[in-house]
Chain A
Amino acid sequence: MNGSEIFNAQLWMTALSSATPLALAALGGTFSERTGVVNIAMEGMMLTGAFVAVLASATLHSAFLGLAAAILSGMLMAVLFAWGTIRYKADQVVVGMAINVLAAGLTGYLLNAIYGFTGTPPDTPRLPDVTIPGLAQMPGIGAVLGRADLLVYVMLLLVPLSHYFLFRTPLGLRMRAVGEHPQAADTAGIDVNRLRFLGVLISGALSGMAGAYISIGVLNAFNVNMTNGRGYIALAAMIFGNWKPVGAFLAAALFGLANALAINLQGLEGWHVSKDFVLMIPYALTILALAGIVRRTTPPAADGIPYEPGH
């Protein structure tokens, strides 16, 4: 392969595939943060989802049940997170980190306890690829978008749906109000903590789904710390996307493209750069996004602040 061939269909497919879990989690994070809860726990929710997806898929011999279980497990972690941050108003970042450490420990332990040295079963069912009739036959775009994992399409559908939900429905308006000015929402008769709980729960479900994509979408296996910081990159994508679903998707797509480029560059002839360096690119981009560009974005005014009525 040489330089001019880097931008081939394979690259775009890899980009889309890398972007999918990031976009799913980032969409979820948008819901959480729009209601005022900084969700750094997406990494842990995703990791849990990835493990539970394999566990359920292998045990029940159904990738769909695996997916459902992953979503539920993400929501379970979300309940735990919400309980600490909303019910007991603990610091959101601290509880989030605790969830991440818990998820890493728990999945690592269970992996070993259940599957031992051999790893997850090789016959674990994978989520199916879907072919879009018509689109698949189109030249160019067909190769990238015509056939992909089910969750890729789910993600692509969720982007406009999330936008519609947040910006066009009464519930979306209320959720945003809660994240901007909880007192105002409260005095308008809105149950602030219930909507924050809902936001966190949606985030847990989508993070769990993102985890399932990593373990039984792309592959059909789980290994230790499989998400590898993608939860944080999703957080960056959400911020980069200015707390908007479409923005979060575009940012996730950018990160996905960076990742795909990194992978493709490794195969480039006459390119003698350490593989580790190349693989670092998406993460470096994350830091740049957070440090350089973040200042031009505007978070919800009450993001990260627990709500105490009566002030």
Chain B
Amino acid sequence: MDVVLELKGITKRFPGVVANDRVDLDLRRGEIHAVLGENGAGKSTIMKIVSGLYSPDEGTILLEGRPVRFAGPREAITAGIGMVHQHFMLIPVMTVAENIVLGREPARGLALDVRRAREDVRQLSARYGLEIDPDRLVGELSVGLQQRVEILKAFYRGANILILDEPTAMLTPQEARELFRIMRELARSGVSIFFISHKLDEVMEVADRVSVMRQGRRVATLPAAETSPEQLAELMVGRSVLLRVERGEHRPGEPVLAVEGLGRAARGGRAALADISFEVRAGEIFGLAGVEGNGQQELVEVLAGLLKPDRGTVRLGGVDVTGRSPRQLFEMGVAYIPPDRQAEGLVLDLTVAENLALKDYYRAPLARRGLIDVKRLAERARALVVEYDVRPANPAAVARTLSGGNQQKVILGREVSSSPRLLIAAQPTRGLDVGAIEFVHRRLLALRDSGAAVLLSSLELDEILSLADRIGVMYKGRLVAVLDADEATRERVGLLMTGATAAAPAGAGTAAAGAGAEEVRRP
């Protein structure tokens, strides 16, 4: 197979870090080349160099054997390199067609030829098997469909090299499977693909070759067929990793969280909740499973005080806390890890130390007489970045410059260190590397073993199955079943998630069985 793209000795430094250290990497025509590595290993950086967003400090890029230098993304696109970023580059208020043709618009006279644009998009869709309605507003599309728009954008510009930076991090398992099908088809038609992922099973499933990066260096490149998840994990982290943590015996205590008859009408683009009742006890992890958009996130936000329910009650340790503010809930011992770390979890332009203090900056010991004790704040931050393995371990670093995984560790540190009675964790391992996932899982289990209640909402069914003591399945805004861990198989939960209640044997611990197939009442 011939080499399309070759990187030789690429080095990229940022203040205080060498993000890429003499990296050699090559991409063959029509291959899917996975790039693995811990958070902060330099995967996104090397890909941004390839796509012209950063320029390397040292090293050369050979495209079809010829050395190239990109002054900007424009030139990389012209050379046929398209990148789908970890954080999408789409304009939500514009249509699919407008987003795709942007920068290379078909025109008729002076005007944008909307009909041609629509037609071009339709043809591309058909050719690559990426179905999409060109007239929809991008902001109204699901994440999976937005990603499709991103991929089509690259092809519209004539890309024959496609870079996908953690494309599955925000996708449901169904959407991910669909993406893999598309990737394989593209590769067969001659497109060469770099694919960054943290999920070893995905990599094993879809990649031809796998390169592993560690601390800015490429440490290995292997054919996928000749490796194993265990070997890859070890190469990434430099030690052996437990891909599945051990969960101790389930010894539930008093109920900490009790939800009764919770309901909320669908509005403002948010899904409805209908008649939800359940408990989470001290010393247990309650997993919330469901296909994205079935109300899990709305439920979580109601419990975190971010959304107001229309009816029903939420009790915390017996006290009615329905409708209380996030601050009030925090003071009562509720911690919350939001699903989108950049939009909700962090203030990106503040330092790590300041982000660690976002919840309790106003009270002792961080504040005295209305002033923040800067020394104390820095001291605590120094301890926390070490304890939670934030890299670089520099409390003064601006949160924006941290890699995604390390941003997540900052949030985890802030929330878990407050020793909550109840931790609400939404997608806590999204975008994390295997080592960091192990770390988060251990922390969640340690919190549970210390007697706290944990509500874990995750789109990763495997995560729920391996951590949760009890599992609630959401479908169309209802909690259609609550299963004990030992009766919850992958198949059974998966079926419940799609609304199939018949699969659940009668009397096997399902709550509100039969409700799943019903339409949600929308008052």
A associates with B: yes
Tell me if B's interface is mostly helix, strand, loop or mixed: loop
Which of these, B72, B89, B105, B153, contacts A170 with CB under 8 Å? B105
**Contact call A184/B104, Cβ cutoff below 8 A:** no
Which B residues touch A190, using CB under 8 A? 102-103
Residue B343 interfacial (CB < 8 Å): no
**Contact call B83/A184, Cβ cutoff below 8 A:** no
**Contact call A170/B107, Cβ cutoff below 8 A:** yes
Which A residues touch B90, using CB under 8 A? 181, 184
Closest to A170 in B: B105
**Contact call A177/B73, Cβ cutoff below 8 A:** no
A164 to B153, CA, bound (A): 25
Which B residues touch A172, using CB under 8 A? 112
Residue A169 interfacial (CB < 8 Å): yes
Which B residues touch A227, using CB under 8 A? none
Residue A296 interfacial (CB < 8 Å): no
**Contact call B77/A169, Cβ cutoff below 8 A:** no
A189 to B158, CA, bound (A): 13
Closest to B78 in A: A189
Given A187-B73, A309-B72, does the pair A169, B83 have CB atoms closer than 8 Å?
A: no
A186 to B53, CA, bound (A): 9
Which B residues touch A309, using CB under 8 A? 53, 72
Most B C-beta atoms less than 10 A away, residue of A173, A177, A309: A173
A176 to B95, CA, bound (A): 13
Closest to B105 in A: A170
Which B residues touch A310, using CB under 8 A? 48, 53-54
Residue A311 interfacial (CB < 8 Å): yes
Which A residues touch B94, using CB under 8 A? 173, 176-177, 180
Band of interface residues on B = 20 to 34
Residues 49-99 (chain B) with a chain A CB within 8 angstroms:
51, 53-54, 72-74, 77-78, 83, 85, 89-94, 98-99
**Contact call A186/B105, Cβ cutoff below 8 A:** no
Which A residues touch B1, using CB under 8 A? none
Which A residues touch B93, using CB under 8 A? 180, 298, 301
Band of interface residues on A = 20 to 34
Which B residues touch A1, using CB under 8 A? none
Residues 227-271 (chain A) with a chain B CB within 8 angstroms:
none
Nearest-neighbour CB distance to chain A for B129, whole angstroms, equals 23
Residue B506 interfacial (CB < 8 Å): no
Could you mark each residue 150-176 of chain A with 1 if its beta carbon is under 8 Å from any beta carbon of chain B, else 0? 000000000000001000111011101
Given A177-B91, A177-B102, A310-B54, does the pair A186, B72 have CB atoms closer than 8 Å?
A: yes
Which B residues touch A311, using CB under 8 A? 400
Given A168-B111, A188-B153, does the pair A174, B53 have CB atoms closer than 8 Å?
A: no
Most B C-beta atoms less than 10 A away, residue of A187, A301, A311: A187
**Contact call A189/B104, Cβ cutoff below 8 A:** yes
Nearest-neighbour CB distance to chain A for B45, whole angstroms, equals 10
Closest to B156 in A: A188
Residue B110 interfacial (CB < 8 Å): yes
Most A C-beta atoms less than 10 A away, residue of B53, B54, B83, B102: B102
**Contact call A181/B89, Cβ cutoff below 8 A:** yes
**Contact call A189/B73, Cβ cutoff below 8 A:** yes
Residue A183 interfacial (CB < 8 Å): yes
**Contact call B89/A187, Cβ cutoff below 8 A:** yes
How many A-B pairs have beta carbons closer than 8 Å: the answer is 74
Which B residues touch A177, using CB under 8 A? 91, 94, 102
Could you mark each residue 144-163 of chain B with 1 if its beta carbon is under 8 Å from any beta carbon of chain A, else 0? 00000000010001000000
Which B residues touch A186, using CB under 8 A? 72-74
Residue A185 interfacial (CB < 8 Å): yes
Which A residues touch B112, using CB under 8 A? 168-170, 172-173
**Contact call B102/A174, Cβ cutoff below 8 A:** yes
Given A168-B112, A311-B400, does the pair A189, B77 have CB atoms closer than 8 Å?
A: yes
**Contact call B89/A184, Cβ cutoff below 8 A:** yes
**Contact call A181/B91, Cβ cutoff below 8 A:** yes
A144 to B99, CA, bound (A): 43
Closest to B82 in A: A187
**Contact call A189/B74, Cβ cutoff below 8 A:** yes
Nearest-neighbour CB distance to chain A for B196, whole angstroms, equals 17
Which of these, A169, A173, A189, contacts B110 with CB under 8 Å? A169
Could you mark each residue 94-127 of chain A with 1 if its beta carbon is under 8 Å from any beta carbon of chain B, else 0? 0000000000000000000000000000000000
A189 to B71, CA, bound (A): 11
Residues 51-72 (chain A) with a chain B CB within 8 angstroms:
none
Which of these, B78, B83, B103, contacts A174 with CB under 8 Å? B103
A107 to B374, CA, bound (A): 49
**Contact call B53/A173, Cβ cutoff below 8 A:** no
Closest to B87 in A: A183
Which B residues touch A170, using CB under 8 A? 105, 107, 112
**Contact call A173/B102, Cβ cutoff below 8 A:** yes
Which of these, A164, A188, A191, contacts B102 with CB under 8 Å? A188
Nearest-neighbour CB distance to chain B for A191, whole angstroms, equals 8
A188 to B89, CA, bound (A): 9
Could you mark each residue 31-60 of chain B with 1 if its beta carbon is under 8 Å from any beta carbon of chain A, else 0? 000000000000000001001011000000
Which A residues touch B157, using CB under 8 A? 188-189
A259 to B105, CA, bound (A): 43
Nearest-neighbour CB distance to chain A for B313, whole angstroms, equals 32
Which A residues touch B78, using CB under 8 A? 189
**Contact call B53/A189, Cβ cutoff below 8 A:** no
Nearest-neighbour CB distance to chain A for B91, whole angstroms, equals 5
**Contact call B91/A187, Cβ cutoff below 8 A:** no
Nearest-neighbour CB distance to chain A for B101, whole angstroms, equals 8
Could you mark each residue 395-408 of chain B with 1 if its beta carbon is under 8 Å from any beta carbon of chain A, else 0? 00000100000000
**Contact call B110/A187, Cβ cutoff below 8 A:** no
Which A residues touch B104, using CB under 8 A? 188-189
Assuming A187-B51, A188-B89, what are 20 further A-B pairs, CB within 8 angstroms? A169-B110, A169-B111, A169-B112, A170-B105, A173-B98, A173-B112, A174-B102, A180-B91, A180-B92, A181-B90, A183-B89, A184-B99, A185-B102, A186-B73, A187-B83, A187-B85, A188-B102, A188-B157, A189-B73, A309-B53
Residues of B whose CB lies within 8 Å of any CB of A are 48, 51, 53-54, 72-74, 77-78, 83, 85, 89-94, 98-99, 102-105, 107, 110-112, 153, 157, 400
- Some 29 contacts from A to B, beta carbons below 8 A apart, are A173-B94, A173-B98, A173-B102, A174-B102, A174-B103, A177-B91, A177-B94, A177-B102, A180-B93, A181-B89, A181-B91, A183-B89, A184-B90, A184-B99, A185-B102, A187-B83, A187-B89, A188-B89, A188-B103, A188-B104, A189-B73, A189-B78, A189-B104, A191-B74, A298-B93, A301-B93, A309-B72, A310-B53, A311-B400
9 tightest A-B contacts by CB? A188-B103, A170-B105, A184-B89, A189-B74, A189-B103, A187-B73, A188-B102, A180-B91, A181-B91
